[in-house]
Amino acid sequence: MFSLILVHQPSKQAHSDFEEIAVRISRLAADIRVFIVDIKQLDWEQRELAAAAPTLVVSPMPIKKFTAARGRVLQGYDFPKSVQYQRLSECAVPVPDWLPIEPCVALDPKQWGDYVVIKPDLARKGAEIKIKRSGRVRYKPSPAADSESPLQQARLLAQRFIYTGRWPNNYRVVTLFGRALMSWHCEAEHSFRPLESRYAFRGGAEGGGITIVSNKMGSSYRLSAEADVIALAERAHSAFADQPLLGTDIVRDADSGELCVLETNPRGDAWLMSSETGNSIQRDNRIDFMSQFNALDIAAEVLIEKTRELAE
């Protein structure tokens, strides 16, 4: 027998999803008993019962308080983007050229193009992402350098700009241990001025009304099942084998058609099939992430395999 403990976080996954996964596992694998706990749970009356068998603990997001009596623990962890890029490159997953903005930085437009993307190493949800002329990129000490917040202390990165079309767009593929659960295509609202060619920016930090971030308020989403995009996201997960859930953001160059990974969101805030954010996107765009690839069936199959392989 094996024990599988699924760690749930309210607002990030519907509890009923984990309950449905448990039902599916019980039908397919009589040798696995599934337990569902809260991410902040301290007292748990079934702790000893679960510990009677080799155990695997799976939490999409970082665990806050819960501890198991035994077993291997696999949970989300928020890696800086620089670490993500290093890991992805080691697995031969394409990422845009990048480097940290340090005191000696000097970008040659002939190598980097006329404009580059500037982003914090730790920011999420597209925060503080800007476009800047590559020849004007200079190191500047953060005024919040003395802050205790890791986000405020994070260094800035310069990254090659990938032109995805007149309005920025990207793919998001959610994978569980390397298996795709859902995939969307997102495009920025067309009220922004379009970028007619790769470096046709004019004025302002974001090109005088041109946005370079696709997932802003008012963006449009649709289901997407492009085979090369999904294959790349599943391959990217190999760089984070111990991370249960990834939400990998991928862009396609509008001119060459080449794909590259922008980030993987390894913290695990990506159960978009039923999170508050995911529910809002589905409602506003009239789409259904859960039924796209039968996400709960895939999750049950993957968790059975991982429990039998990794339970301790």
Mean pLDDT for all residues in the chain: 91
Name the phi and psi angles at 102, rounded to 5.
-115, 170
Which structure tokens are listed for 62?
């970082």
Mean pLDDT of the 99-127 span: 87
Examine the domain organization and report whether 94 and 175 are in the same domain.
Answer: yes
24 in a structural domain: yes
Domain count of the fold of the chain: 2
The residue that leads in pLDDT, 2 or 40, is 2
Q: Could you give the percent of the chain with pLDDT greater than 70?
A: 92
pLDDT, residue 148, reads 53
pLDDT, residue 211, reads 73
User: What is the strand order of the sheet 245-252 is part of?
Assistant: 220-223, 179-187, 169-176, 245-252, 259-263
Q: Is 234 left (phi over 0), alpha (psi -120 to 50) or beta?
A: alpha
Contact 101, 158 (CB under 8 A): yes
Which structure tokens are listed for 215?
């997932």
d(CA 118, CA 137) in angstroms, rounded, equals 9
Residue 225 confidence (pLDDT) above 50: yes
Which structure tokens are listed for 70?
């035994």
Mean pLDDT of the 144-158 span: 63
Nearest of 225, 230, 267 to residue 246 by alpha carbon: 267
Examine the domain organization and report whether 220 and 113 are in the same domain.
Answer: yes
Helix (H, G, I), strand (E, B) or coil at 32: strand
CATH number at 28 reads 3.40.50
Q: Which residues contact 6 (CB under 8 A, 6 or more apart)?
A: 18, 21, 22, 34, 35, 36, 37, 58, 59, 303
pLDDT, residue 43, reads 85
Examine the domain organization and report whether 173 and 69 are in the same domain.
Answer: no
Burial 5-34 (b: 16+ CB within 10 A, else e): bbbbbeebbbeebbebbbebbeeebeebbb
Residue 122 confidence (pLDDT) above 70: yes
pLDDT, residue 145, reads 52
276 in a structural domain: no
Helix (H, G, I), strand (E, B) or coil at 266: coil
Mean pLDDT of the 138-154 span: 61
- Which of 82-96, 112-126, 238-252 is least confident? 112-126
- What range does the domain containing 160 cover? 81-267
pLDDT, residue 68, reads 92
Residue 213 confidence (pLDDT) above 90: no
pLDDT, residue 26, reads 97
| Amino acid residing at 122 | L
Q: Could you read off the pLDDT of 46-72 as tens digits, one per residue? A: 999 999 999 999 999 999 899 999 999
Examine the domain organization and report whether 71 and 85 are in the same domain.
Answer: no
Alpha helices, DSSP H, located in 132-172: 150-153
Q: Could you read off the pLDDT of 241-294 as tens digits, one per residue? A: 999 999 999 999 999 999 999 999 999 999 999 999 999 999 999 999 999 999
Examine the domain organization and report whether 49 and 171 are in the same domain.
Answer: no
d(CA 263, CA 303) in angstroms, rounded, equals 24
281 in a structural domain: no
Residue 238 confidence (pLDDT) above 50: yes
284 in a structural domain: no
